[in-house]
């Protein structure tokens, strides 16, 4: 973090200012200074630091030294076609969850909402959610879950009258920051009726 000393246990030395041929070029920001600087890589925070060598204070940092190549995670959990899923209470289907380290993420959940029957008859409202919990052992729905995004899906006359009619749906979240290891999971509540769901795909994209 800028303004605090770096942690030498987490860092490796990359270069110092004396190796910078352009250190006195006035066009380069902060090139003219009264003290030398070190360039360090932090393996824990995955950041590149510009550190004052006299004070050990971090003056600048790059949050991602990998050129923007962020980590992505995905889990797909298929539900057998042809079996109705009638669960009026929130349910995590199969292994449709991801255990993640601390960080800032964006999540999305994609699923197929399948309507069997004549449009406009017998359809209820299904609720789909993306949930997080810092207790990584809780792979089912729990009261302590934080719901970060949800979406209602309801059949009706607007659905094409095919048997079945399949609609691809997606829920996307804004950036979510969690400061410890945690679990992200998808939850679905599907009332008794003639609708079903197939092909859950839960994704997590690490921003930093």
Q: What is the pTM of this model?
A: 0.59
Between 201 and 118, name the one with better pLDDT.
Answer: 201
Topology annotation, domain 72-206: Jelly Rolls (2.60.120)
Tokens of 175: 């950036």
Q: Quickly state the pLDDT bin for 165 (edges 50, 70, 90).
A: low
Give the model confidence (pLDDT) of 25-70 as tens digits. 666 655 555 567 889 998 888 888 888 888 888 888 776 444 334 5
Q: Is residue 199 classed as helix, strand or coil in its secondary structure? A: strand
Question: In this structure, what token pair is assigned to residue 205?
Answer: 């994209």
Domain edges within the chain:
11-62, 72-206
User: How far does Cα 47 stand from its chain's mean position?
Assistant: 19
The span from the CA of 48 to the CA of 66, in Å, is 10
């Amino acid at each position: 973090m800028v303004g605090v000393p770096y942690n030498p246990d987490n860092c490796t030395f990359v270069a110092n200012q004396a190796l910078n041929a352009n250190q006195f070029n006035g066009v380069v920001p902060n090139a003219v200074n009264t003290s030398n600087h070190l360039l360090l890589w932090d393996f824990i925070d995955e950041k590149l630091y510009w550190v004052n060598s006299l004070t050990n204070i971090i003056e600048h940092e790059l949050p991602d030294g990998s050129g923007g190549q962020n980590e992505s995670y995905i889990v797909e959990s298929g539900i057998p076609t042809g079996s109705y899923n009638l669960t009026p209470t929130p349910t995590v289907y199969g292994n449709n969850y991801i255990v993640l380290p601390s960080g800032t993420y964006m999540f999305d959940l994609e699923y197929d909402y399948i309507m069997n029957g004549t449009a406009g008859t017998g359809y209820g409202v299904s609720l789909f959610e993306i949930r997080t919990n810092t207790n990584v052992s809780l792979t089912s729905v729990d009261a302590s879950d934080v719901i970060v995004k949800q979406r209602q899906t309801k059949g009706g006359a607007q659905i094409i009258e095919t048997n079945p009619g399949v609609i691809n749906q997606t829920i996307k979240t804004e950036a979510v920051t969690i400061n410890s290891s945690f679990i992200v999971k998808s939850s679905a509540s599907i009332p008794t009726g003639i609708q079903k769901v197939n092909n859950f795909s839960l994704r997590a994209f690490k921003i930093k």
